[in-house]
Amino acid sequence: MKQPEDLQPVVLNQNAEVVLSKRYYRKGPDGEPLEDATGLFWRVASAIAAEEGKYPDSSCRADELAREFYDLMTSWKFLPNSPTLMNAGTDLGQLAACFVLPVGDSIEEIFDAVKHAAMIHKSGGGTGFSFSRLRPAASRVGSTGGVASGPLSFLRIFNTATEQIKQGGTRRGANMGILRVDHPDILEFIRAKEREGEFNNFNLSVALTEDFMKAVEKGEEYPLMAPHSGEAKGTLNAREVFEILVQKAWESGDPGIVFIDRINRDNPTPAQGEMESTNPCGEQPLLPYEACNLGSVNLAGLYLAGHGSTADSIDWAELKRIIRLSVRFLDNVIDASRYPLDRITETVHRNRKIGLGVMGWADLLFQLRIPYDSQDAVKLAGRVMEFIRAEGRAASKQLAKERGPFPAYAESVFGQRDLGPYRNATITTIAPTGTLSILAGCSSGVEPLFALSFARHVMDGERLVEVNPYFEQALKDEQCYSEKLMEAVTQKGSVQTMEHLPQHMRDVFVTAMDIEPVWHLKMQAAFQEYTDNAVSKTVNLPNSATIDDIRSIYWMAYERGCKGVTVYRDGCKQSQVLCTGDGE
Ligand code: ADP
């Protein structure tokens, strides 16, 4: 589609400009950009809208839709995940952020997975693996009479391979490595990141089963099993394992935990097998060889000023319009994407999973003057996500009418319970939106702000300073604004100790570290209740957080129905992505 001359120009914030030109613009052989922001968003909008032409019963015209998609993205109301922005309409054409690959218990299968991961990383996607099928270290290897080296030694190979493949310039691959808690090598896995820098291209998570959690509750032993032979391999004390897990997470943030039975309880297509891993940041459980593309609605822009009640201060009609359009966009991305393996194409096309989520949540709360750590905020989270899920499903139903349901619909839980038909086996996921939120200039995902003013290290040590615009505006409205105050806030990140500021300001403008852990969990659980896949959430804690704090966070995540949880104690690693002035 030819780029129309009357497209609205894109207004970029300073950080977006840096990120786009470093990584997202298509570049020529001399490294010079071949496009600007208008060119990028038109490339994406037109490539995704062109898929409409394949469906004769479509209710939309491709050229009109391309304009709508362009306006949707460039008004920062919705953005698709990074690989779509980078690769749509290019020769590479790989548009999904999330993949899960199987790792089988043989040298051939292990190295196939290493190769496939390399292909995915090259295309900008992240990979998740379960290592639970590998025989434990020191087991016999039938074909050679030797002994196996176990999941950890192979994980190291994946980590090294990732290190060597830089993605499209500077994006290094991201991985999730999962091991079931009943694998005989579990203790070694839990301790894998004891040395700083080890397995640094991996997030590690332990897959906890319901049986294990019950054993922790009762203080009982639980059985270990060699996956390749089904042989019992002794028992461990569940509480002791849980304690080591908590201790290690306190030390380094790893491993996180996923509740694997819960993930499978919500598996929409159990006839195709079990889910054993998630994508790198944990928000997207997938079947082996499955991929998923994500997209996020920016809630920050949906605030309506001048209305009395909270409900009237959110533009629900606009949210509905955005959701309808975004679901169509993400469904088209599935067809527009070229996957690195035929197996992946088949699995993706069979289930057609998409993951629509949100960003800018903390910014919306700021505008509404609702503290993140309040029951009102938690209630509103449920209400917003319930709305998104309902409208997302309605949109997917409409697509099923035009294009047919996802091919595995009949065997899926929806088909079995006669709930559909839907076009997509899953519709909602809440992603971290690490880069998308920079582009849109909003707070990331459903996280509270890390700091009201802070320095962000992105790519190659570049440092970007950011002041939250709603905070700045509120200070001006309250006549509290001064350069001196702003400097102090950049140093501290938080205003909790600034007693000269009105209490209601300190209540509303809270940061991740100001919030009691329980509120992080309540918020995650509220969004999870209405999300098909999972919610990316890190419980950020001050350096002073104790092991008891981590233990109770893990336990609360279990009790409140979360699918997993990640904690991060400020300063527990030497290099971290975000830091306040105090941390430097
Ligand atoms: P973005 O904002 O760039 O779209 P997110 O921070 O929302 O990405 O992450 C979403 C998913 O994208 C992650 O869970 C992971 O699957 C993938 N991803 C993120 N960063 C990387 C990376 N550096 N390399 C590969 N995949 C990544």
Distance CA 41, CA 245 (A): 44
CB atoms within 10 A of CB 105: 18
Q: Is 173 in the pocket of ligand 1 (CB under 6 A)?
A: yes
In testing the pocket of ligand 1, which one of 281, 354, 361 has its CB within 8 Å of the most ligand atoms?
A: 281
Taking CA atoms, 219 is separated from 190, 191, 211, 213, 239, in Å, by 19, 22, 12, 10, 6
- Bridge partner list, 12: none
What is the CA(435)–ligand 1 centre distance, in A? 8
What is the CA(97)–ligand 1 centre distance, in A? 6
Catalytic residue, chosen from 281, 292, 442, 579, is 281
Buried-state track 205-238, b at ≥16 Cβ within 10 A, e below 16: bbbbbeebbebbeeeeebebbbbbeeeebeebeb
Closest ligand 1 atom to Cα of 167: 24
- Give pLDDT, residue 147: 84
What is the CA(401)–ligand 1 centre distance, in A? 32
Environment class of residue 510 by beta-carbon count within 10 Å: exposed (0-12), middle (13-18) or buried (19+)? buried
- Give pLDDT, residue 146: 82
Q: Of all protein residues, whose CA lies closest to atom 5 belonging to ligand 1?
A: 433
> Around 393, how many Cα atoms within 13 Å sit in the side-chain half-sphere?
12
Closest ligand 1 atom to Cα of 121: 25
DSSP character string of 243-288? HHHHHHHHHHS--EEEEHHHHHHT-S-GGG----EE-TTSS-EE-T
What is the CA(14)–ligand 1 centre distance, in A? 21
283 is catalytic: yes
Q: Of all protein residues, whose CA lies closest to atom 25 belonging to ligand 1?
A: 126
Catalytic residue, chosen from 283, 290, 391, 466, is 283
What is the CA(493)–ligand 1 centre distance, in A? 26
What is the CA(553)–ligand 1 centre distance, in A? 25
> Around 225, how many Cα atoms within 13 Å sit in the side-chain half-sphere?
11
The residue count for the chain: 584
571 within 8 A of 583, measured Cβ to Cβ: yes
Q: Of all protein residues, whose CA lies closest to atom 26 belonging to ligand 1?
A: 126
- Residues of the chain with confidence (pLDDT) below 70: 167-170, 455-465, 574-584
The pLDDT tens digits of the residues spanning 463-483 come to 666 889 999 999 999 999 998
The amino acid occupying position 183 is H
Q: Is 281 in the pocket of ligand 1 (CB under 6 A)?
A: yes
Q: Of all protein residues, whose CA lies closest to atom 12 belonging to ligand 1?
A: 97
579 is catalytic: no
What is the CA(24)–ligand 1 centre distance, in A? 14
The pLDDT tens digits of the residues spanning 46-91 come to 999 999 999 988 888 999 999 999 999 999 999 999 999 999 999 9
Assembly ipTM:
0.96
- Give pLDDT, residue 240: 98
CB-based contacts of 39, cutoff 8 Å, min separation 6: 3, 25
Task: Label the pairing between strands 202-208 and 175-180.
Answer: parallel
- Give pLDDT, residue 23: 87
Closest ligand 1 atom to Cα of 437: 2
Closest ligand 1 atom to Cα of 124: 25
Taking CA atoms, 553 is separated from 171, 232, 567, in Å, by 31, 31, 8
Q: Where are the alpha helices (DSSP H) in 51-177?
A: 62-74, 82-87, 107-122, 150-164
First to last CA, the chain: 49
Q: Of all protein residues, whose CA lies closest to atom 8 belonging to ligand 1?
A: 433
458 within 8 A of 19, measured Cβ to Cβ: yes
480 is catalytic: no
Taking CA atoms, 340 is separated from 92, 129, 174, 292, in Å, by 10, 17, 17, 13
Cα 391-358-401 angle, rounded to 5 deg? 30
Q: Where are the beta strands (DSSP E) in 18-107?
A: 78-80, 98-101
Nearest Cα residue to 192 out of 242, 249, 144: 249
- Give pLDDT, residue 170: 55
Closest ligand 1 atom to Cα of 98: 16
CB atoms within 10 A of CB 306: 6
Environment class of residue 51 by beta-carbon count within 10 Å: exposed (0-12), middle (13-18) or buried (19+)? buried
- DSSP-derived letter for residue 301 is G
Closest ligand 1 atom to Cα of 126: 26
Distance CA 180, CA 35 (A): 46
What is the CA(269)–ligand 1 centre distance, in A? 25
Please, what are the domains in the chain?
98-278 (3.20.70.20)
Q: Of all protein residues, whose CA lies closest to atom 10 belonging to ligand 1?
A: 431
- Give pLDDT, residue 583: 36
Q: Is 508 in the pocket of ligand 1 (CB under 6 A)?
A: no
- Give pLDDT, residue 563: 96
CB-based contacts of 176, cutoff 8 Å, min separation 6: 126, 127, 128, 129, 202, 203, 204, 205, 277, 278, 279, 280, 281, 282
Q: Is 280 in the pocket of ligand 1 (CB under 6 A)?
A: yes
- Give pLDDT, residue 463: 62
Closest ligand 1 atom to Cα of 445: 7
What is the CA(432)–ligand 1 centre distance, in A? 8
Catalytic residue, chosen from 15, 279, 293, 424, is 279
Q: Is 432 in the pocket of ligand 1 (CB under 6 A)?
A: yes
Q: Is 434 in the pocket of ligand 1 (CB under 6 A)?
A: yes
543 within 8 A of 580, measured Cβ to Cβ: no
Q: Of all protein residues, whose CA lies closest to atom 27 belonging to ligand 1?
A: 126
What is the CA(499)–ligand 1 centre distance, in A? 39
Q: Is 98 in the pocket of ligand 1 (CB under 6 A)?
A: yes
Taking CA atoms, 174 is separated from 114, 231, 335, 565, in Å, by 13, 33, 24, 18
The amino acid occupying position 88 is A
- Give pLDDT, residue 584: 30
- Give pLDDT, residue 144: 75
